Structure 1
Amino acid sequence: MIANLKFGLRGKDYRLFTSDVRLWIPLTRRYVYPDIMVIQGEPIYQGSNKTIVTNPLVIVEVLSSSTKDYDRGGKFVAYRSIPELREYILIDQYSYHIEQFAKNSDGKWVLTEYDSAESGLTLESVEFQMPLSEIYERINFEVEEEVNEQISEIQE
């Protein structure tokens, strides 16, 4: 998805950041490392540190068994306090399932879900489309499920 976003946003006024750049959330007074962030225009940095941004337009998180509840709950509550944020994308790594939360003109968050390889994810805020078949390219869900089960057994 990162490569497709980078290519799709080329020549437009957006900056793409991956999980090596931190996001400062004033509401919680914490840093987090989103998997992908898209910023419109120039990034606004927290202080003089050029690896901590504050103004994402789009945030993408890949869900895992250990993070999915936090990503959907407390983290999303914190993200919603960021004035520039317009879209929050959650990608399930174990099945064809993407949750897209988009802030409408009334300031309400609207959920759209995608559940098949034939579906296409559209990011309205940055005019970008990508088929789920490309997002999940070369993912073998059977192997992923077995690994997930093994991790669950170890944690128990």
Structure 2
Amino acid sequence: MATGTSDFLPRISLHKPARKYTLEEYLRKEGNSAHKHEFINGEIIKMPNARYNHNLIAMNVAVDMTNTIEKSEKNYLVLGSDQKIYLPVLDESVYADALAVCEKPLFWDDEDLLLINPILVVEVLSKSTQRYDRTSKFDKYKTLESFKEYVMIRQNECYAEVWYRERPGLWHETIITTIEGKLPLQSLGIEISMKRIYKNVKFIV
């Protein structure tokens, strides 16, 4: 029985490989975009929309860190979710939900867009991003010499996880699950209240 020649033809993929961009191209496109994007492995990746709880927690954390730092008279600065973080080793740019720098922010570029020296980074976890935040993104932040502390906060239950770098390659984990608890930020020498982190947040079951 004859067999059609098409059975022996190689399958041709119609999927086009993603276009690779330079950092300069990314910055130009991001400057004209209504949405935020991360620059990963030469690709421009749109960030998912953040829900109310996510935005409220991120703001609460940034405000309480700022207020607590001012009361303690320590020399740290807190920045919000619009600040780009540049990872020189990887040539990538990402956003965090909040971050802190020690004394003076340092930038990769001349326009103060690409911060390179966060000492602490905060991510509010969501279903769509929590795996990335816990693994790949954490590893990316570890390439920064200044990076000493990573805070991950769940938005639909009282849960915060802190990873503090005691020395190169050794990270200590602290988990807080009570609303009466305090979140220790050793890199800044302060604590912030879980009550304030979750102020006005309504958990969705």
Give distance in 2, aligned partners of 1:98 and 1:23: 22
Over 3 Å counting, the alpha-carbon distance change for 1:26 and 1:106 in structure 2 is closer
Report sequence identity in percent: 27
What TM-score, normalized by structure 2, do the two folds share? 0.67
Does structure 1 retain, via aligned residues, the 8 Å contact 2:68–2:192? no
Please point out which of 124, 127, 135 is paired with 1:62.
Answer: 124
Give distance in 2, aligned partners of 1:116 and 1:28: 37
Does structure 2 retain, via aligned residues, the 8 Å contact 1:27–1:78? no
User: Where in structure 2 are the equivalents of 1:96-107 lying within 5 Å?
Assistant: 96-105=158-167, 107=169
Equivalent in the alignment of 2:74: 12
Structure with max Cα Rg: 2
Equivalent in the alignment of 1:2: 62
Equivalenced residues, count: 143
Equivalent in the alignment of 1:140: 202
User: Where in structure 2 are the equivalents of 1:1-156 lying within 5 Å?
Assistant: 1-10=61-70, 11-105=73-167, 107-141=169-203, 144-145=204-205
Q: CA deviation at 1:106?
A: 5.4
Unaligned runs of 5+ in 2: 1-60
RMSD: 1.3
Equivalent in the alignment of 2:19: none
- Would you identify which runs of 4 or more consecutive aligned residues in structure 1 move more than 6 Å? none
Q: CA deviation at 1:121?
A: 0.4
The residue matched to 1:28 in structure 2 has which SS?
Answer: coil
Does structure 2 retain, via aligned residues, the 8 Å contact 1:22–1:51? yes
Unaligned runs of 5+ in 1: 146-156
Q: CA deviation at 1:28?
A: 2.5
